[in-house]
Amino acid sequence: MKDNIKLALFFVVIFGAFTILLCTESSRWHSASIAMIFTMSGVFVGQLIQNRKKREKYKRDKD
């Protein structure tokens, strides 16, 4: 359940970032915003996958 809440918050943040991106007119800000969005999303998704693998390993070791 916690992962679902984190994922929902993540998508809200990404949506907000895209909104800011669309409201700016400078091409420099567009490039920076896109780079930050991809970096942040890659790190966050990687953490979710890593945490899921740790939980699965813990469950296997517990059994």
Q: How far apart are CA 61 and CA 40, in angstroms?
A: 32
- The mean-pLDDT minimum among 21-25, 32-36, 37-41, 43-47 falls in 21-25
Note the pLDDT of residue 63: 64
Across 22-30, average pLDDT = 70
pLDDT of residue 36: 76
The answer to whether residue 29 scores a pLDDT higher than 60 is yes
Residues 63 and 58: their CA atoms lie apart, in Å, by 9
**Can you give the pTM of this predicted structure?**
0.49
Domain ranges of the chain: 2-62
Residues counted in the chain: 63
> What burial letters (b/e) apply to 16-25, b meaning 16+ CB within 10 Å?
ebeeebeeee
